[in-house]
Structure formats: C-alpha cells, structure tokens
C-alpha cells in the first residue's frame, strides 16, 4: 500500500494551456456623500468570477485565481491620512473624480499553465455626479424584462431587476445627499419594488423595453413595432419617440396633445415614461445570438440619429459553475456540463459573443466614441445566480447542520433567467457606469 501511494505521488501533474476571455473594465463608486461617515456609508465592491472565463470544460479542473479563490474583488480606495481618532482626515478615490487603475490578475492551478491578464478598475467619486440626471433606455429580452429575478431570502416576493437595483442606488444617494443624484429609466413597460432604507419604505419604479423571447435580429430589423421606422423599416429611437413620448427632455410629464406621441392616450399617458435618452443599454443576444455586423448596424443607427448618445452593450452568462466542489449547497443541475441544452449551449454562445463584442467595444477608442462594453457577464455570481428553490434537509436550521442548506435549480430556463443575485451585481455595474460617464463628461 505504501508503495502504491509513493508511486502516485511521483506521477507529475500535467498542466495544459486553456484559452480564456477576461473583462476589459469593471466599475465601482467611491461614496463620499456623507462626509461624517468617513468611508463607512454604502461603499461596495465588484467581483469577477472564474467560471465565466472558460468554455467547453466537461469535468472539474483545479483552476483558481492567484488568490486561491474563484473570484477577484475590486473596491474604490478610501485612505485615512492622519491619526485623529474621532474625526480623521480621509482621502476618497485618491483625490480625483475618476480613478482608473490597472490590476494584473493571475490564473493558476494544478491543471492549467499559469497565465495573467489586466483589468481596468474605474472608480468614480460619487459626490461630483449629483447635478446630472441620466435618462436611460434599457433594450433587451426576458432578462431585461426580469423573468425569475427573485431571491429566496424574501420568499420570491420582490423583483430585483437590474434597472430597479440601479435606481435604488440613485435613490439612496438622493436621500443621503438631500438633493440631486436622480435617474430616469425609460420605456413602455414598468417594474416596481419596495425599498427599505433607514427604516423608511420607498416605492421604486423603473421603465424598460425588455421583451420576452425577442432577438437582436428582431429589434434591428423592425420586428418590434414600437421602434420600427416607417421609412427604413429598421430600428429607430426617433420612431419610438414619435409614437410613445410622454415627457419632455427634463423628464417632466407632458400634457396630452402637447408634444406627446401618436400612440399616447389619456389611459397610458401616466403609465409610460418616454423621452430622449442620454444613455442606451443594449442587452440582446441570449435568444439566437447575433453577428458583429448586426450589433454594428444597431449602434450605427443610434449614433446617426443621436451622435452624442452614450451606448452600453452588455450580455449575461448562463448561470452555473464549472467548479461544483466550491458550491456544495447547490444541486448537480447547477453544474454546466450537466445541462447541454439551455444552460451548457447558451454559456458557449454567450462566451463567444462576449469575446467578439469586447474585442470590438472594450477599448479606449470605442469608449472615446461613447460606446462601452459593460461587464455584466463577468460579475454575475455562478451557481448562486441560477434561479432556484430551497430544498434544505429538515435539520438545516440547527447550527451544527447548517451545511444541510440546499438549493435546486427551479423555473423556466433557470440558468438563462438569472435570479436576483445576478441582477443585483449587474445593477451595481450599471449604476457605477452611469456615474462614470457623468463624471467623465464634467
């Protein structure tokens, strides 16, 4: 027996190079709104998750980031600069409005040849963005519609759509500052939730243009009537405004017939929020993918109509993990290779789309033209963002058996329709990106 163990120990590990993708840029906000809090008030981190970097794995490999984890965390710098115990001096965001730093991230492990990549971390000082009110149009499919965007913790009673989460962050800024920090989300369709902040409940409402089952091709080629141009028969924001405008470009509600769209009536005037956006977020591709030419055409149409429009392009991943041993409280359904249909194949599709789109738009040249690639795909937690139900062992509420908490994938396309945990992380990226673009424009 001892000889067999010795023989096994003498067998060298075989490491292989593995192709991977990586994010170009992540966003955070350095929250300095309440000066007396000295950096303790609502400062959040962003993280990238290892699973999203790979495709095609059919068994678990020993792969980790250089910190021996499956995630790398980024947060804005806040530094105490003197020894005053009760009220120290604090430097936020290294003393600048927008701080961009580059972090080298290593991939290592017993089964992979070590490699590294660089990520740009863009951090924005919150207070400087107070007086600009972005108007945001989110275009997407069932994911922007927020199908299954709930969490177990509130018994699936609230919707956690990423645009609702972004709006919440703006609302909390407004409450803390006493003014400013407003944001308007535009569209025909409405989502609502309740936010409890500082022991007060607030209604949160956003509008959007997320349509279940819609594809990039349908949006581009006039398949969505709201955006169909009568002239080109293609996508058009001008056409959408002509049909559905309900507000002027300060976000003030119009009187019916005084500049309202042709399809606005007394019945829908107060239910639809539509005016010219400052930002357009495109989250299309989960249904059938798309070609680079199609994305380019959609972007070019928007830029032709509105040359100064700021455009964000983003994608989700199919939720799930390549490293099930790191997620022992999740069923085998959350392991990607156990679902070669909706989950496994869609992960491959999204991986390829992200690789293509980030090459095109994830660079300084594209950003200088107001076109960004947002890292929703990379910041989405893995097994934890599968839509799920709790199926704990009956003794799981006892401290000694807490490991018996258990989660099972549950819902229509549970891996595609990412749960509220994924949306929360997307919402923070959207909020942080909006703040970043505001600060860059000051």
pLDDT at 83: 87
For 128-441, CATH gives 3.40.50.1110
b/e 6-20 (16+ beta carbons within 10 angstroms → b): eeeeeeeeeeeebeb
Chain mean position to CA 1: 52
Provide CB contacts within 8 A for 374, sequence distance 6+: 27, 281, 312, 313, 314, 429, 430, 433
- Which phi and psi angles does 234 have, rounded to 5°? -115, 180
Whether 361 and 313 have beta carbons less than 8 Å apart is answered as yes
pLDDT at 1: 43
Whether 135 and 206 have beta carbons less than 8 Å apart is answered as no
b/e 160-180 (16+ beta carbons within 10 angstroms → b): bbbbbbbbbbbbbbbbbeeee
Burial class (CB in 10 A: 0-12, 13-18, 19+), 442: exposed
Say how many C-beta atoms besides its own lie within 10 A of residue 94's C-beta.
14
DSSP 286: T
pLDDT at 400: 63
For residue 362, give both structure tokens: 């994830």
Tell if the pTM clears 0.85, that is, is over it: yes
Whether 174 and 195 have beta carbons less than 8 Å apart is answered as no
DSSP 247: B
b/e 101-130 (16+ beta carbons within 10 angstroms → b): eeeebebbbebbeeeeeebbbbbbbbbbbb
Question: Parallel, antiparallel, or unpaired for β 407-409 and 388-390?
Answer: antiparallel
Q: Each residue's pLDDT tens digit in the chain (442 positions)?
A: 444 444 444 445 689 899 999 999 999 999 999 988 988 999 999 999 999 999 999 999 999 999 999 999 999 999 998 888 878 899 999 999 999 999 999 999 999 999 999 999 999 999 999 999 999 999 999 999 999 889 988 888 899 999 999 999 999 999 999 999 999 999 999 999 999 999 999 999 999 999 999 999 999 999 999 999 999 999 999 999 999 999 999 999 999 999 999 999 999 999 999 999 999 999 999 999 999 999 999 999 999 999 999 999 999 999 999 999 999 999 898 999 887 665 568 999 999 999 999 999 999 999 999 999 999 999 999 999 998 888 888 887 776 666 777 788 888 888 889 999 999 999 999 999 999 999 999 8
pLDDT at 401: 67
pLDDT at 344: 60
Domain boundaries, the chain: 128-441
């Amino acid at each position: 027996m001892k000889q067999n163990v010795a023989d096994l120990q003498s067998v060298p590990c075989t490491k292989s190079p593995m192709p991977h993708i990586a994010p170009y840029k992540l966003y955070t906000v350095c929250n300095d709104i309440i000066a007396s809090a000295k950096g303790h008030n609502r400062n959040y981190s962003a993280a990238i998750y290892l699973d999203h970097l790979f495709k095609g794995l059919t068994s678990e490999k020993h792969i980790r980031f250089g910190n021996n984890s499956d995630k790398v965390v980024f947060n804005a710098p806040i530094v105490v600069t003197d020894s005053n115990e009760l009220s120290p001096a604090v430097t936020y965001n290294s003393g600048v409005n927008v701080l961009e730093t580059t972090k080298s991230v290593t991939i290592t492990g017993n089964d992979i040849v070590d490699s590294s990549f660089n990520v740009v971390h863009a951090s924005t000082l919150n207070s400087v963005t107070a007086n600009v009110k972005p108007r945001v149009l989110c275009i997407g499919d069932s994911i922007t519609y927020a199908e299954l965007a709930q969490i177990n913790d509130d018994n699936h009673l609230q919707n956690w759509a990423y645009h609702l989460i972004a709006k919440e962050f703006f609302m909390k800024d407004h409450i803390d500052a006493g003014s400013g920090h407003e944001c308007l989300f535009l569209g025909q369709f409405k989502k609502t939730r309740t936010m409890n902040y500082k022991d007060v409940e607030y209604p949160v409402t956003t509008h959007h243009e997320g349509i279940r089952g819609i594809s990039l091709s349908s949006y581009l080629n006039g398949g969505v009537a709201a955006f169909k141009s009568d002239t080109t028969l293609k996508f058009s924001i001008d056409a959408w405004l002509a049909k559905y405008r309900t507000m002027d470009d300060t976000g003030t509600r119009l009187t019916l017939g005084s500049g309202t769209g042709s399809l606005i009536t007394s019945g829908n005037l107060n239910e639809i929020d539509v005016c010219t956006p400052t930002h357009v977020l495109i989250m299309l591709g989960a249904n059938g993918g798309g070609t680079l030419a199609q994305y380019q055409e959609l972007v070019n149409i928007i830029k032709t109509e509105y040359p100064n429009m700021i455009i964000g392009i983003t994608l989700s991943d199919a939720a799930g993990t390549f490293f099930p041993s790191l997620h022992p409280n999740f069923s085998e359904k959350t392991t990607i290779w156990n679902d070669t249909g909706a989950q496994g194949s869609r992960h491959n599709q999204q991986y390829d789309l992200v690789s293509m789109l980030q090459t095109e738009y994830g660079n300084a040249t594209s950003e200088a033209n107001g076109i960004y690639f947002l890292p929703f795909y990379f910041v989405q937690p893995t097994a934890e963002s599968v839509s799920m139900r709790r199926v704990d062992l009956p003794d799981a509420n006892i401290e000694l058996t807490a490991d018996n908490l258990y989660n099972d994938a549950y819902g229509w396309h549970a891996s595609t329709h990412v749960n509220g945990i994924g949306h929360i992380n997307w919402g923070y990226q959207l909020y942080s990106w909006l703040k970043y673009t505001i600060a860059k424009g000051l």
